[in-house]
Amino acid sequence: MEYKKILSSGKPVIFSGAATALITPFSSDGIDFAALGRIVDRQMKEKISALVMCGTTGEAPTLTRDEAKAIASNVKSRVGDKIPVIVGVGCADTAKSVTAARDAFISGADAVMAVTPYYNRPTKDGIIAHFYKIAEASPLPLIVYTVPSRTGTQLTPDTYALLSEHENIVGVKEASGDIKLITEICHTLSGALSIYCGSDELNLPALAVGCEGVISVLSNIMAREVSQLCAAALSDIERARAIDAELMPLARAMFIRSNPIPVKAACSILGLCENELRLPLTPIDKEGYDFIKNLLIH
């Protein structure tokens, strides 16, 4: 695909603005592709900048290889070349991530994203070797994803700098929730990698310190507003503050239980899909459901 922006390092900027970390809609029979189509069409209508599937919000650990390939192919065929399609390929097994990256390329994806290996908690050398192997598995650009609350591993600016030396590693999704760290990463890696905020509560400050955009859970239900926030952060800070303040209650509500439990409930309330998750995740309790519903209808 053609890239609208290139970093000073010569690497492509996969997207600027807001990308949605898509849920995977399920029915009792498996993936609900009709619902997935409705969700993607709604995202496109609300002018989202990119779509990320098969990640944390997409319940990736419970997807089979064939399901992940089918999701990527389905979304790419629906979206075409209008916006980038980014496929999550990360897991705790480097070999499986390599296979998933190759599958994503065959499925027509524009980029891949890989989370730091969880549970086995490798050393710095192991992390770099892991991501290099994925980056070499296909021609697709790779976004490194850090979410220490789930993986137990936080990458440091110097590790990101080493990862940036690989030509196929082009970006970082930072979901540490630490604005001081995000600021340091933006200052250290400006021009080398695209930095994306992965914590909706920090979208505005992260954009202010130099993030290229956000990869959002909230935009599953508020894609237009999150996109508007990203645009306003660069041109009209007062409007950005107003949008951020309006979105904050829902942004926080999306994490009152483990992601994607709340956002799947919100999507079901909006009629986008069934409130169906795969074990070990279960639908949100009545108290949480009512809390989210009250926010949505007001």
Nearest to 24 by CA among 269, 259, 292, 286: 259
Pick the catalytic residue from 11, 69, 173, 264: 173
DSSP 236-288: -HHHHHHHHHHHHHHHHHTTSSSTTHHHHHHHHHTTSS-----TT--PPPHHH
Residue 62: φ, ψ to 5°: -105, 0
Quick check: bond before 25 cis, omega within 30?
no
Distance CA 131, CA 126 (A): 9
Phi, psi of 87 (to 5 degrees): -110, 130
Active site residue 160: no
Q: Is 82 a catalytic residue?
A: no
From the list 145, 160, 196, 289, the catalytic residue is 145
The residues assigned a catalytic role are 145, 173
